[in-house]
Amino acid sequence: MLDFKTIEILEPNTEILEIIKSYSYKIKKGKIKHLPKTNLQFIEPTQYIIKYPINLTILEYKVNEISNKPFYIKAYNEKYNLKEIKQILTKI
């Protein structure tokens, strides 16, 4: 069995929390885990699960160096930056 060591707990984004505070939501904090005896690290994203007025799950990754878009919406299968996420959430 692989034993991971949590080296950092990721805090939710305060700007998104301000937007979704009027919605019914749940947050799961992200984690950065390290596999001992290797140099491998695994990132679990922070999840913003909006339940009302629409079912929507937004994943926030700590680093996404390739596209510079740290947010991912499962329902739309697309990556977004903070400005685009704000626009989507205000439309709801």
Mean pLDDT of 75-86: 91
Please state, rounded to an integer, the average pLDDT across all residues of the chain: 89
Look up the pTM and report it.
Answer: 0.85
C-alpha to C-alpha distance for 28 and 20, rounded to whole angstroms: 14
Mean pLDDT of 38-63: 91
Model pLDDT, residue 65: 61
Model pLDDT, residue 69: 87
Model pLDDT, residue 16: 92
Residue 87, burial from CB neighbour count under 10 angstroms (0-12, 13-18, 19+): exposed
Model pLDDT, residue 83: 92
